[in-house]
Amino acid sequence: MNKIKSIAIDVGHGGKDPGAVADLYDDGAARLANRGRLLEKDLNLRLGAEVFGQALEAGFDAHLLRGGDYDQSLGQRTDLANRLGVDLFLSIHHNGAASAAAGGTETFYFPGSQGGELAARLVQAAMVEALGLADRGIKAADNLHVLRATGMPAILIEPLFLTGEADQVILCDGGYFRRLAQAIVGGILGG
């Protein structure tokens, strides 16, 4: 992993696409809410900005692919990363489910990508340690465009379920974004 010098940070969803949407279970979630609901696109953007800043501080050549709340196609995201020629593509998401009991942390990589699998393993372990949530593991996924269409190792993280009642408690901790970004960057550095 120490060969990674440059990172493309993809902030999932945006613009008209809110991603997962959640009702508020935790009173602290109100400060993160958009019209009384949690929107994945907002959480992704905030975490992406934090990861970007910490990656720069750690000495990475970091590129934030979406820095605002606007539409950006999956093809635009992967094309930009491929043009930049970065060493790792990191797609930031937050999970959602119909059940408020759903929770935990998981990371996806493209099957057969040794670099992607290693990055997924290291970042997943760092996120689980930082958040203390259930480890849902790393998973190979060939159906995700951002993993399939990138010419470099790529991972897609789902740190927690914004729809999960217990996970919202972690999300609403004032240090969530900083602590998680530190874990992600530390995982990329190899622990």
pLDDT band at 1 (very low <50, low <70, confident <90, very high): very low
The mean pLDDT value for 22-45 works out to: 84
Domain residue spans of the chain: 6-189
The verdict on domain 6-189 having CATH code 3.40.50.1100 is no
4: amino acid identity, one letter: I
Res 32: pLDDT: 80
Burial degree of 161 (CB within 10 A; 0-12, 13-18, 19+):
buried
The mean pLDDT value for 178-190 works out to: 97
- What is the DSSP track for 10-71? EE--BTTB--SEE---SGGGGGG-BTTBEEHHHHHHHHHHHHHHHHHHTT-EEEES--SS--
- Which residues have C-beta within 8 Å of that of residue 57, sequence separation ≥ 6? none
Rounded Cα distance between 92 and 72, Å, is 14
Structure tokens at 131: 């958040």
Q: Over the stretch 69-128, which tens digit does the pLDDT of each residue have?
A: 999 999 999 999 999 999 999 999 999 999 999 999 999 999 999 999 999 999 999 999
Res 2: pLDDT: 52
Strands, sheet with 154-158, edge to edge from the N-terminal-most edge strand = 61-64, 6-11, 88-92, 154-158, 105-109, 135-140
Q: Over the stretch 145-173, which tens digit does the pLDDT of each residue have?
A: 999 999 999 999 999 999 999 999 999 88
Rounded Cα distance between 108 and 127, Å, is 13
CB distance 88 to 123 below 8 Å: no
